[in-house]
C-alpha cells in the first residue's frame, strides 16, 4: 500500500515537472497594448540625417538595414497617422556639442560616434551649419516635426532617455502608453524601450520603423528584435501599428 502511494506521488511530481518544463519551453505570452487616444504617444528616436540619409556618416553601417526594412517610409507613415489621429508626437534627438569632446572615456559605439563626428553641432544655442547637416531632421519629416505641435525633447547623450527630459514631458501630458520607433534599433531605440518600461510606461515597438548597424561583430537589428520581443508589451509592424491607431481613433469617435 505504501509502495503504491509512493509511486503515485512520484507520478504526480513528474507530471508537475513536465507541466513546468512545457510552459517554460513554450512561446512567450503576448501581453498586447491597446491604444487609447488620451494617454498614448508616438516616440521617435533620432530621425536624423546621420542615420537615415545616404549622405549620413553611418550609412555604410546601417544603410542596408534601413533599405531592407523600408524604415524611412515606415517612419513617415507613423508620423502621418499619428498626426491624423491626434496622437501626440515626441522626438528624442541626439546631439553632441564641442564641450562633449572633453569626455574622458566611452564605450565602443560611443567612441565611434565621436570619431566620425556624428550628430555634431556648434553648440546648444547655435544653429550655424545645422540646416541639412547630419544632425538635422530628414527633410521629409520636417512637416511633421516642425508643425508647432510635436514635442522635441532635450537631447539624449549616449543611448537612453535618462539624460534628457522625455519622461518628464510624457508625464506632464498624462501619457502612459508609448508607440516606439526610430534609430537605431539595438542602441537608442532599445535603450528608450528599456528605460520607459522601467519608468512604468507600456511600450509597443514598431519593428520595421527602425534599423541598425550590420558589422563583422554582429547584426544590431537581429539582436534588437530578440529584446523587443522579450521586453516590450507588443511588437508591431508598421501596418499593424497604423491599423491599431485607426481602430483607436474610430472607437473614440464612435462615442460622439
In which residue are the cell numbers 506521488 written?
Answer: 9
CB atoms within 10 A of CB 24: 7
The per-residue pLDDT for range 225-234, each reduced to its tens digit, is 999 999 999 9
- The C-alpha cell at 212 is 541598425
Q: Is the pTM of this model over 0.85?
A: yes
Domains annotated on the chain, with CATH: 35-253 (3.40.50.850)
Grid cell at residue 172: 506632464
What pLDDT, on the 0 to 100 scale, is given for residue 24? Answer: 52
pLDDT in tens, 113-124: 888 887 889 999
User: What pLDDT, on a 0 to 100 scale, did the predictor assign at position 254?
Assistant: 82
The phi, psi pair for 108, rounded to 5°, reads -60, -55
Q: How far is CA 7 from CA 1, 2, 11, 18, in A?
A: 10, 9, 6, 16
pLDDT in tens, 52-73: 999 999 999 999 999 999 999 9
Tell me: the pLDDT tens digits for 203-220? Answer: 999 999 999 999 999 999
Amino acid at each position: 500500500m505504501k509502495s503504491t502511494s509512493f509511486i503515485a506521488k512520484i507520478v504526480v511530481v513528474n507530471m508537475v515537472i513536465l507541466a513546468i518544463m512545457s510552459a517554460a519551453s513554450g512561446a512567450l505570452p503576448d501581453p498586447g497594448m491597446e491604444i487609447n487616444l488620451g494617454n498614448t504617444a508616438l516616440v521617435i528616436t533620432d530621425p536624423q540625417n546621420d542615420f537615415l540619409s545616404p549622405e549620413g556618416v553611418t550609412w555604410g553601417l546601417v544603410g542596408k538595414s534601413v533599405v531592407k526594412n523600408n524604415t524611412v517610409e515606415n517612419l513617415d507613415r507613423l508620423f502621418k497617422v499619428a498626426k491624423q489621429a491626434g496622437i501626440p508626437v515626441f522626438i528624442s534627438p541626439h546631439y553632441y556639442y564641442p564641450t562633449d569632446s572633453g569626455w574622458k572615456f566611452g564605450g565602443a559605439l560611443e567612441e565611434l560616434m565621436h570619431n566620425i563626428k556624428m550628430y555634431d553641432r556648434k553648440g546648444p544655442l547655435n544653429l550655424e551649419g545645422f540646416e541639412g547637416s547630419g544632425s538635422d531632421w530628414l527633410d521629409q519629416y520636417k512637416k511633421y516635426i516642425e508643425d508647432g505641435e510635436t514635442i522635441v525633447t532635450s537631447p539624449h547623450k549616449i543611448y537612453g532617455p535618462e539624460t534628457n527630459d522625455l519622461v518628464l514631458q510624457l508625464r506632464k501630458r498624462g501619457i502612459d502608453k508609448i508607440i516606439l520607433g526610430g534609430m537605431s534599433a539595438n542602441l537608442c531605440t532599445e535603450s528608450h524601450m528599456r528605460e520607459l518600461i522601467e519608468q512604468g510606461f507600456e511600450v509597443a515597438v514598431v519593428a520595421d520603423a527602425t534599423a541598425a548597424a550590420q558589422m563583422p561583430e554582429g547584426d544590431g537589428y537581429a539582436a534588437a528584435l530578440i529584446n523587443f520581443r522579450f521586453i516590450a508589451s507588443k511588437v508591431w509592424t508598421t501596418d499593424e501599428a497604423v491599423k491599431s491607431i485607426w481602430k483607436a481613433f474610430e472607437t473614440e469617435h464612435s462615442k460622439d
